Amino acid sequence: MTFVGGMQVEPPWDPEAGGFFTTADLYISGDNGYMGRNSGVLYVIDISMPEQMQVVAQVQMPGPALDVKVAGELAVVAVQNGPINELGLVVVDVSDPPRAHILSMIQDEFWSGVHNVYLWGDRAYLAHSASRGLTVVDLSDPERPVISLRGCTTACLLNQELSTTSLISEWQVATQVTASDVLPDEVELLQNYPNPFNAQTSIPFRLDESARVELRVVDLLGQTVEILVNEVFAAGHHTLHWDAMSASGQPVASGVYFYQLRVVDQVITRRLLLLR
């Protein structure tokens, strides 16, 4: 065995500063390596020349990136202990590795994060900690992943004081879940991710019925920075992206901004933070 090359992705541990960075997972696909870190970053590394490997992209995750899998133009990242307790799976577009970016995120109140993920066809199989068992996610539309099967382990049953019969019922009912079963029952504007961000952020929202949607970004003075969309969307889960550019195509300054969702006579506002 001969050493060919190596690289340092993050600063070495400084005992005086406290804390440390660790690699949680590494997946190789073609000429690229995809490294998940406990620091909450997915690194895309060009390994076509082992003697001169280099990081070509960094995608901020909302929590520790514990497991990474890649299939075709998609990378899926298992995230656990993120700022949102139910957070679990992040889907990343790696069709152009240097411009890798988040497509979608899926979470569920049943989960306690996601520890491991396995890909088979257009399905992702998720393993959870805290005895939460197995979940299957349909990725046939990677921008709108849907939970198609939810299960539970024996330990989970003991924790929840359920019976074996209820476990069987839970699996049987889960297999009948369709997109119409998981439609939201109200209009929701979710927190953007990542947040803070420095390049691009994703803004998810949900509609309980088809409606015209306007999503705009405004500054602290209430002045419009950019209108991301103004069109009709079907009922369901949607995600838009903002690249921190103004309506005139100029980069905006670091700071606090607000994004507003207008649906019919309803207006929902949330805050985001841009750090360049």
pTM over 0.75: no
Q: What is the mean pLDDT of each run of 10 residues along the chain (276 residues)?
A: 69 60 81 88 91 91 87 88 61 93 80 77 76 76 81 47 39 40 78 85 89 95 95 88 93 95 94 90
Give yes or no for a contact between 96 and 114, defined as CB atoms under 8 angstroms apart: no
Q: How many helices (H) and strands (E) does the chain have?
A: 2, 19
Nearest to 202 by CA among 138, 272, 111, 147: 272
Give the C-alpha separation, 245 to 229, whole Å: 14
Q: What is the pLDDT of residue 111?
A: 64
Q: What is the pLDDT of residue 23?
A: 73
Q: Which residue has the tokens 């152009």?
A: 96
Identical fold between 23-182 and 188-274:
no
Question: From the centroid of its chain, how far is CA 252?
Answer: 24
In terms of Cβ atoms closer than 10 Å to its own Cβ (0-12, 13-18, 19+), residue 121 is exposed
What is the homologous superfamily of the domain 188-274 according to CATH?
A: Macroglobulin (MG2) domain (2.60.40.1930)
Give the CATH fold of the 23-182 domain: Methylamine Dehydrogenase; Chain H (2.130.10)
Q: What is the pLDDT of residue 2?
A: 72
Q: Which residue has the tokens 């998609």?
A: 74
Q: What is the pLDDT of residue 42?
A: 92
Q: Would you kindly state where each structural domain of the chain is located, as residue ranges?
A: 23-182, 188-274
| Amino acid letter for position 192 | N
Nearest to 78 by CA among 156, 134, 32: 134
Local structure of residue 110 (DSSP, 8 states): T
Q: Which residue has the tokens 């070509």?
A: 56
